[in-house]
Amino acid sequence: MPFLLDGNDRLQSLSWTLTGNHWWQRGTLRCFRRVRLYGFLFGLMVTFLIMAVYILTGERKGLLLTPSPYHFGSLINSSPYNLSFSKDYSSIKQVVKSIVSKVEFSSRQVPDRKGLLYSEPQMFSIIPNKFLSKVKNPCWYEEYPGNGTEDPYGKNLYALYSRRFRAVFDHLRSAFRKHLYNTAGKQYRIRCLPYFYIIGQPKCGTTDLYNRLRLHPEVMFTTMKEPHWWTRKRFGIIRLSDGFHDRYPVEDYLDLFDLAAYQIQEHLLRNETTRQKKHNIIIGEASASTMWDNNAWVYFYENSTNGEPPFMVQDFIHAVQPDAKFIVMLRDPVERLYSDYLYFGIANKSAEDFHERVSESLQLFEGCLSESSMRSCVYNTTLNNAMPVRLQVGLYIVYLLDWLTVFKMDQILILRLEDHAANRKYTMRKVFDFLKLGSLTEQKEAEITKSPASNTRRPADKSLGPMLPITKEILQEFYFPFNQRLTQVLKNDSFLWVTDTEDAHN
Ligand SMILES: *[C@@H]1O[C@H](CO)[C@@H](O)[C@H](O)[C@H]1NC(C)=O
Ligand SMILES: *[C@@H]1O[C@H](CO)[C@@H](O)[C@H](O)[C@H]1NC(C)=O
Ligand SMILES: *[C@@H]1O[C@H](CO)[C@@H](O)[C@H](O)[C@H]1NC(C)=O
Ligand SMILES: *[C@@H]1O[C@H](CO)[C@@H](O)[C@H](O)[C@H]1NC(C)=O
Ligand SMILES: *[C@@H]1O[C@H](CO)[C@@H](O)[C@H](O)[C@H]1NC(C)=O
Ligand SMILES: *[C@@H]1O[C@H](CO)[C@@H](O)[C@H](O)[C@H]1NC(C)=O
Ligand SMILES: *[C@@H]1O[C@H](CO)[C@@H](O)[C@H](O)[C@H]1NC(C)=O
């Protein structure tokens, strides 16, 4: 069953990730609106909520809600526009005009290394400054202190919280012992980080890219798809009763690269004496949240920064891997948003419902912009959780500029889904070149480019048809200034998405 990279994570009912919480918040807001509309008692909602939380989390104790940073009341009433949502097209156009007039791209303060070290001491104590020079992929040896009787994955939280990956860890366990490297009476295990990351965006074809790339004989991925470690698991799991708990340590993340690391080690050892050129197996990691999702920051970092996160995901990746490579797949943000909407399991989906959610999200966004900067609104966790569609994910340029504060442009490959759908050979070759992969036989290349597209729209959603023309028009206006800046930065007009006609893909 093809899951979208980002959606995959949301379907894990076991782990209450940030996203899980997000859903809950969203549901709450909808309820609230109805309550307001029909004049039900607020108390009823609270009761419902507590019951819902109780049922959803399966918690049998401690039903106390954590102090919530979300202020429903003030959010709902803050808009100066008086919309009866869906039908008032001219008002919503006013909202968009107001947003567009406030678009500005401010720069960010890049944190120094000391601050990063202080914030994630464990990460920096585990990952060395230098990697093995004989292999292309970043890897190192770490002394393994065990005596061979303990379970190397016994404490791994990915294994603990995700039933689906138990089998994967059984496999890892059986391979572990024989890959320990013994020398001078000590045991060492090989550790690796990814050579490249597919970082975004959701509903832009990253799953398809992942499925093709893994067919390349020199490319291996994590043993489970979408670790979401940098953006989410690193911060732990939310239990509504007791807040965040169980932050996944960096070792749990590194464990996911073990199978690929063994391959690298085998090549390394086989050629140990010959000192030949670097070995070519590389590891990839694909989590479609990496580019944009900094929503956890507000719970973990000091908040005296005018609502802008003082540390971002890319700061940490850069600190440990300044040479990492990143692949980003984008598509027309208007279509992305609709696809995102269709993907998630919402009851009674319709083009009208989408329009209503878009209108409401735009209003919330505008409300934030009237008080705060563009950057702080894009990274405003409260706002992001309140918007009934994820408008912010399509503001590609805001995220890209922030990645470019620490990485160089030539470390980031930016593709368009529209090009990929039209000519997969072209995009795959770009990717292979970017990753400096060896040449393929024609047969292998055909295998990689010809297999059918993954993760296209479900048949039930296809029957919904396209979004309303008015919604499209409104969204195009909203995204335009952002796309325009993107084309300037990338020096390529195709990122305006004016000529593409959307086909059935996704
Ligand atoms: C908003 O609309 C309602 C009903 O349509 C109306 O009674 C109310 O006066 C309006 N408020 C403002 C501030 O325009
Ligand atoms: C290995 O170490 C564990 C504690 O880490 C100990 O309980 C166990 O007896 C040891 N086993 C052997 C064979 O030394
Ligand atoms: C050793 O490395 C060379 C060059 O990378 C490679 O062609 C050869 O197949 C390797 N040898 C073995 C036994 O894998
Ligand atoms: C920052 O966080 C502290 C503690 O959580 C809180 O009391 C304070 O109001 C926050 N300040 C801002 C500007 O959000
Ligand atoms: C985040 O958004 C909410 C809702 O628009 C707003 O009330 C709050 O002031 C914003 N916070 C910051 C720091 O901009
Ligand atoms: C979906 O629509 C059905 C039929 O119109 C209605 O009974 C149901 O309450 C709706 N569900 C939601 C969540 O709005
Ligand atoms: C712009 O991007 C398109 C693909 O989206 C590509 O075909 C074209 O070569 C690019 N133009 C330039 C000048 O790089």
Q: What's the rounded Cα separation, in Å, for the pair 487 and 330?
A: 13
User: Could you give the C-alpha distances from 460 to 134, 302, 339, 345, in angstroms and in order?
Assistant: 51, 45, 13, 12
- 354 CA to centre of ligand 6 in angstroms: 15
User: Could you give the C-alpha distances from 135 to 180, 274, 281, 321, 482, in angstroms and in order?
Assistant: 18, 13, 8, 15, 40
Delimiting residues of CATH 3.40.50.300 domain(s) in the chain: 113-496
Quick one: pLDDT at residue 86?
A: 54
Averaged pLDDT for residues 262-280: 73
Range with the poorest average pLDDT among 144-153, 213-222, 377-386: 144-153
81 has pLDDT over 60:
no
Query: Which ligand gives the minimal distance to the CA of 278?
Result: 3
Residue nearest to atom 12 of ligand 2 (CA): 147
Q: What's the rounded Cα separation, in Å, for the pair 241 and 261?
A: 39
Q: How many CB atoms are located within 10 Å of the residue 423 CB?
A: 12
Quick one: pLDDT at residue 434?
A: 98
Averaged pLDDT for residues 309-315: 96
What are 412's strand-pairing partners?
326
Top pLDDT among 299 and 71 is at 299
- 82 CA to centre of ligand 1 in angstroms: 6
Which amino acid, 457? R
Cβ neighbourhood burial of 234 (10 Å; 0-12, 13-18, 19+): buried
> For the segment 426-457, what is each residue's pLDDT rounded down to a tens digit?
999 999 999 999 888 999 999 999 888 876 66
Query: Which ligand gives the minimal distance to the CA of 304?
Result: 4
Q: What percent of the chain has pLDDT over 90?
A: 59
Averaged pLDDT for residues 477-493: 98
Quick one: pLDDT at residue 304?
A: 79
State whether CATH 3.40.50.300 applies to domain 113-496. yes
Averaged pLDDT for residues 237-266: 86
Q: Using the atom order of ligand 7, give the atom closest to the CA of residue 415.
A: 5
203 lines ligand 7 (CB under 6 A): no
Query: Any residues with CB less than 8 A from the CB of 499 and at least 6 apart, and which?
Result: none
Residue to mutate (ligand 2; options 150, 151, 155, 187; most atoms within 8 A of CB): 150
Quick one: pLDDT at residue 243?
A: 67
Q: Using the atom order of ligand 3, give the atom closest to the CA of residue 279.
A: 5
Top pLDDT among 205 and 15 is at 205
Range with the poorest average pLDDT among 34-38, 159-163, 352-356, 375-379: 34-38
> For the segment 17-51, what is each residue's pLDDT rounded down to a tens digit?
333 344 334 444 454 444 444 554 444 444 444 44
Average pLDDT, the chain: 82
CA 426 vs. chain centroid, Å, equals 25
- 382 CA to centre of ligand 5 in angstroms: 7
Q: Using the atom order of ligand 3, give the atom closest to the CA of residue 277.
A: 5
Q: How many CB atoms are located within 10 Å of the residue 317 CB?
A: 21
Range with the poorest average pLDDT among 24-33, 99-108, 359-368: 24-33
pLDDT band of residue 236 (cuts 50, 70, 90) is confident
Residue nearest to atom 14 of ligand 2 (CA): 147
376 lines ligand 5 (CB under 6 A): yes
Q: What's the rounded Cα separation, in Å, for the pair 496 and 482?
A: 9
- 237 CA to centre of ligand 6 in angstroms: 31
201 has pLDDT over 80:
yes
Q: Using the atom order of ligand 3, give the atom closest to the CA of residue 267.
A: 14
11 has pLDDT over 50:
no
Q: Using the atom order of ligand 5, give the atom closest to the CA of residue 365.
A: 5
Q: What is the pTM of this model?
A: 0.81
What residues does ligand 2 touch, defined as CB less than 6 Å away? 147, 149-150
Residue nearest to atom 9 of ligand 2 (CA): 149
Q: How many CB atoms are located within 10 Å of the residue 238 CB?
A: 25
Q: What's the rounded Cα separation, in Å, for the pair 277 and 297?
A: 42
pLDDT band of residue 5 (cuts 50, 70, 90) is very low
Q: Using the atom order of ligand 7, give the atom closest to the CA of residue 416.
A: 5
- 342 CA to centre of ligand 7 in angstroms: 29
Quick one: pLDDT at residue 83?
A: 54
Residue nearest to atom 12 of ligand 5 (CA): 307
- 347 CA to centre of ligand 6 in angstroms: 7
- 454 CA to centre of ligand 3 in angstroms: 34
Q: Of 449, 453, 444, which Cα lies nearest the Cα of 430?
A: 449
Quick one: pLDDT at residue 500?
A: 61
Quick one: pLDDT at residue 346?
A: 77
> For the segment 45-78, what is each residue's pLDDT rounded down to a tens digit?
444 444 444 334 333 322 222 223 333 333 444 4
Residue nearest to atom 14 of ligand 7 (CA): 492
Averaged pLDDT for residues 416-424: 95
Averaged pLDDT for residues 464-468: 91
Tokens encoding 214 = 């893994």
- 334 CA to centre of ligand 3 in angstroms: 48
Residue nearest to atom 10 of ligand 7 (CA): 492
CB 25 within 8 A of CB 70: yes
Quick one: pLDDT at residue 17?
A: 37
372 has pLDDT over 90:
yes
364 has pLDDT over 80:
yes
Quick one: pLDDT at residue 73?
A: 34
Longest Cα–Cα distance in the chain: 79
- 143 CA to centre of ligand 2 in angstroms: 17
- 303 CA to centre of ligand 4 in angstroms: 6
Residue nearest to atom 7 of ligand 6 (CA): 348
Q: What percent of the chain has pLDDT over 70?
A: 77
Query: Which ligand gives the minimal distance to the CA of 268?
Result: 3
Averaged pLDDT for residues 162-178: 85
Q: Of 214, 275, 240, which Cα lies nearest the Cα of 55?
A: 240
- 147 CA to centre of ligand 2 in angstroms: 6
Quick one: pLDDT at residue 79?
A: 52
270 lines ligand 3 (CB under 6 A): yes
Tokens encoding 240 = 């509504």
> For the segment 204-223, what is each residue's pLDDT rounded down to a tens digit?
999 999 999 999 999 999 98
Top pLDDT among 243 and 198 is at 198
Top pLDDT among 434 and 83 is at 434
